[in-house]
Amino acid sequence: MLMKDFVNHEMNCTLIELTCEDCQLVYKKNEADIKHTENICLKEQLRQLRNESKENKRQLNDITIYQSKSDMNVEIKKNNYYFRSYAYRNKYYIQ
């Protein structure tokens, strides 16, 4: 096939698959008015944003839980240190 024919074929062939830059849906040229309308594209973008938002909330929750546990561990260690210091000063020996 000649390059000229290939370019012409690419421009006119209705079976070539396209990918939308906005929503990443794949559709054929001849199905664009059915499978990739503006409403379908916007709904797909909204669906993707909702999924991304859920994942971001999940990650934020995990970070918050981790941070909370870290803060509790620091507080426990600090309290343990104060308790041992107090016990040592007052001659209470803890094993």
Domain positions in the chain: 14-89
pLDDT of residue 67: 78
pLDDT of residue 59: 92
pLDDT of residue 89: 62
Instruction: Average the pLDDT over 10-21 and give the result.
Output: 89
Share of the chain above pLDDT 70, in %: 71
Residue 62 has pLDDT above 70, yes or no: yes
Phi, psi of 27 (to 5 degrees): -150, 165
Enter the pTM of the model. Answer: 0.58
Distance CA 16, CA 32 (A): 11
pLDDT of residue 86: 62
